[in-house]
Amino acid sequence: MHKLLDNKNALGLLFMLPAGALLLVFLTYPLGLGTWLGFTDAKIGRTGEWIGLENFQFLIGDSVARLSLFNTLFYTIVASVLKFVLGLWLALLLNRSLPFKSFLRAIVLLPFIVPTALSAIAFWWIYDSQFSVVSWTLVKMGLIDRYIDFLGDPWMARASVIIANIWRGVPFVAISLLAGLQTIPPSLYEASSIDGATPWQQFWNVTLPLLTPIIAVVMTFSVLFTFTDFQLIYVLTRGGPLNATHLMATLSFQRGIPGGALGEGAALAMLMVPFLLAAILFSYFGLQRRAWQQGGSDK
Amino acid sequence: MEYLQSLPRRWVTLYIPLGAFLVVLLFPFYWMVMTSFKSNEELAAKAANPFWIVKPTLEHFEKLLFRTEYPQWLWNTVLISTVATFLSLFCAVLAAYAIERLRFRGSRQVGLSIFFAYLVPPSILFIPLALIVFKLGLFDSPWALILTYPTFLVPFCTWLLMGYFRTIPYELEECALIDGATRWQILVKIMLPLAVPGLISAGIFAFTLSWNEFIYALTFISSSENKTVPVGVITELVEGDVYHWGALMAGALLGSLPVAILYSFFVEYYVSGMTGAVKE
């Protein structure tokens, strides 16, 4: 027994057991099961039969599914770009010398830590077609004369959910990038300013190149979570109006759980995987590059 | 002179944009508070200034706490988040120590797959997981959530703790080994006390992640008395076409407060947990 516990491999296996068992049963197995379900006609309460690519063929021909792919890509790209630009800007602002700096940093992160479903309710109320405070203010300022139907018009609804997503995501991007900014040695800025670099040049030639690896990782996470977003849409629009805000995740839920078509829902979820893999590969090379920049010694 | 010139410049490039960011980021919270203390008549009055309350009232909180199952949802959320967090920490400590320090054969690959496991989003897992939960007889029980939350908590905590363990000098462990300590003793008596900040970071982060989880709780729980706060507020407080905005906002506010308070006590740990997971 003692001999066994001294053996690194046996002990390693023993220590990995709780985590490994949990992850195998509730992560790896469902991943496999989900893939299999995508090729079956499983419904709630009925084990599915293998039907090959039928689900995928149906989804490709389904205009709502195609629209949800477009919505997901549009939502992810627009929200991620804006989250990156605004997040980087906020990080740069917070990196300057400021009074109450750590207090400000704590406040900024609030939208990220409160439950999204609950802050989404606040946005739902802000976007209300009759009582919206935004409409009220704009009317009082004389800029519009009718209340805006934020969630009733397809493009308006897309813009509204994207704004709510950005609101939630900017703090995460900003605080992560701020941590990256703080690792840049001040001596680099001193040296470049002695050489006569303007702040703008310093940003492009010092800050941005040194920040690139962490930007790659942060944005991968951000893209991943935006692409698979569910709760914000579920609370604000449930995919409406006219499916204009249905993302692949919300459509997969709607078809699979309330709709009962488990096979079709799983197939939709599986269609997200290629995009996620692309994001993960991107992250992997981001990490590689970081290791390379630090002489390969770092993880 | 230079001071006078640079002051407005600082306002334009720093204080005004930062102020704008803060106003936008905090406005929804302000709005939650305002709405939850307003009476229904005041909420319906279109002419009045909506940014302020004329007569604050506690009626929405009273309704929430005494005429809905909200207290039960709060209790469920606390229970599920706490148990899931401790379960995940336990698994993660052992796994991180094994991967980082025991260096068993294949530990590198296991470490990498843990990172990839962290990247698997719940929204592609919930359908097959629903089947598994059902088959295990866990449907509509808190255990369905306690056992499935670790799918995203364990990879995150393990990844974070691996980074922490890496910073603890190996020499400490070698000395203990020479003195005849077992690996278990080393883990409990040397590594864990030194990794307390890491444990707090991982624990706080895991707790807020479980508190905020939505899609599993929505899918695996059906009866009202077993719901968590985010799902309960969305599915039970919205009745037909009449939205009780006051009660909804009060529910959102009360549901956000526990994590906000916890966060305010452990800001530094939370931030280091969040950025640590990204940086490693």
Return all residues near A142 (Cβ < 8 A) that are at least 6 apart. Answer: none
- Rounded Cα distance, A240 and A235, in Å: 11
CB atoms within 10 A of CB B171: 8
A contacts of B77 (beta carbons < 8 Å): none
Nearest Cα of chain A lies from the Cα of B206 at a distance, in angstroms, of 11
Burial class of residue A32, CB neighbours in 10 A (0-12, 13-18, 19+): exposed
Beta carbons of B252 and A121 less than 8 Å apart? yes
Query: What does the pLDDT read at residue A284?
Result: 66
A contacts of B212 (beta carbons < 8 Å): 113-117
Of the candidates A33, A93, A102, the beta carbon closest to that of B17 is on A93
State the pLDDT confidence band at A10, using cuts at 50, 70 and 90: confident
Beta carbons of B158 and A8 less than 8 Å apart? no
Of the candidates A23, A176, A225, the beta carbon closest to that of B154 is on A23
B contacts of A136 (beta carbons < 8 Å): 46, 50
Of the candidates A130, A225, A272, the beta carbon closest to that of B124 is on A272
- What count of residues does chain B have? 280
Of the candidates B31, B35, B95, the beta carbon closest to that of A16 is on B95
Give the residue from A1, A6, A13, A16 with the most B CB atoms within 10 Å of its CB, the best one to mutate. Answer: A16
Could you tell me if A5 and B182 are in contact, meaning their C-beta atoms sit under 8 angstroms apart?
yes
- Rounded Cα distance, A134 and A159, in Å: 14
Query: What does the pLDDT read at residue A44?
Result: 83
Fold of A52-293: MetI-like fold (1.10.3720)
Comparing alpha-carbon positions, the chain A residue that sits nearest to B28 is A122
Give the residue from B90, B105, B123, B238 with the most A CB atoms within 10 Å of its CB, the best one to mutate. Answer: B123
For the residues A193-218, what does the mean pLDDT come to? 88
* Short-list B62, B66, B60, B78, CA closest to B249: B60
- Rounded Cα distance, A5 and A8, in Å: 7
Q: What is the pLDDT along chain B (280 residues), one digit of tens a residue?
A: 455 556 788 888 889 999 999 999 999 999 999 999 988 888 877 777 788 888 888 988 998 899 889 999 999 999 999 999 999 999 999 999 999 888 888 888 998 888 888 888 999 999 999 999 999 999 999 999 999 999 999 999 999 999 889 888 888 888 988 988 888 888 888 889 999 999 999 999 999 999 999 999 999 999 999 999 999 999 888 776 667 888 999 999 999 999 999 998 988 888 888 777 665 5
Return all residues near B97 (Cβ < 8 A) that are at least 6 apart. Answer: A15, B161, B165, B187, B191
Structure-block tokens of residue A141: 């300022």
Does pLDDT of A102 surpass 90?
Answer: no
CB atoms within 10 A of CB B270: 25
Residue whose token pair is 């994207």: A162
* Short-list A285, A261, A244, A89, CA closest to A174: A89
Q: What is the DSSP string of B101-154?
A: II--TTHHHHHHHHHHHHT--HHHHHHHHHHHHHHTT-TTSHHHHHHHTHHHHH
- Bond prior to A241 in cis (omega within 30° of 0): yes
* Short-list A130, A70, A140, A122, CA closest to A235: A122
Burial class of residue A282, CB neighbours in 10 A (0-12, 13-18, 19+): middle
B contacts of A288 (beta carbons < 8 Å): none
Of the candidates A12, A26, A272, the beta carbon closest to that of B107 is on A12
Structure-block tokens of residue B109: 């690959």
* Short-list B275, B186, B128, CA closest to A37: B128
- Rounded Cα distance, B277 and B275, in Å: 5
* Rg of chain A, C-alpha, whole Å: 24
* Short-list B70, B76, B72, B74, CA closest to B236: B70
A contacts of B73 (beta carbons < 8 Å): none
Beta carbons of B278 and A89 less than 8 Å apart? no
3-state secondary structure of A238: coil
Within 91-120 of A, beta carbons closer than 8 Å to B belong to 93-94, 96, 98, 102, 104-111, 113-119
- Per residue in A12-62, pLDDT (tens digit) is 889 999 999 999 999 999 999 999 999 999 888 778 888 889 899 999 999
Beta carbons of B90 and A18 less than 8 Å apart? yes
- Per residue in B188-204, pLDDT (tens digit) is 888 899 999 999 999 99
| Lowest-confidence region among A216-220, A238-242, A282-286, B18-22 | A282-286
Region of A148 please: left (phi>0), alpha (psi -120 to 50) or beta. Answer: beta
What domains sit in chain B, N to C, each tagged with a CATH number?
A: 2-57 (no CATH), 63-279 (1.10.3720.10)
Residue B151 sits at the vertex; the CA angle it makes with B196 and A238, to the nearest 5 degrees, is: 120
C-alpha torsion sign, points A292, B100, A30, B86:
negative
* Short-list A168, A129, A151, CA closest to B29: A168
Beta carbons of A115 and B275 less than 8 Å apart? no
- Per residue in A159-172, pLDDT (tens digit) is 999 999 999 999 99
Q: Alpha carbon of B25 to those of A63, A218, B18, B44, B178: distances in Å?
A: 36, 20, 10, 26, 55
The complex's ipTM?
0.90
Does pLDDT of A297 surpass 50?
Answer: no
A contacts of B165 (beta carbons < 8 Å): none
Does pLDDT of A299 surpass 50?
Answer: no
Residue whose token pair is 């905020």: B212
- Rounded Cα distance, B142 and B114, in Å: 25
B contacts of A253 (beta carbons < 8 Å): 123, 126, 215, 219
State pTM to two decimals: 0.90
Query: What does the pLDDT read at residue B6?
Result: 67
Query: What does the pLDDT read at residue B278?
Result: 64
Return all residues near A29 (Cβ < 8 A) that are at least 6 apart. Answer: B128, B132
Alpha carbon A84 to chain centroid distance?
12
- Per residue in A70-81, pLDDT (tens digit) is 999 999 999 999
Query: What does the pLDDT read at residue B103?
Result: 85
Query: What does the pLDDT read at residue B50?
Result: 81
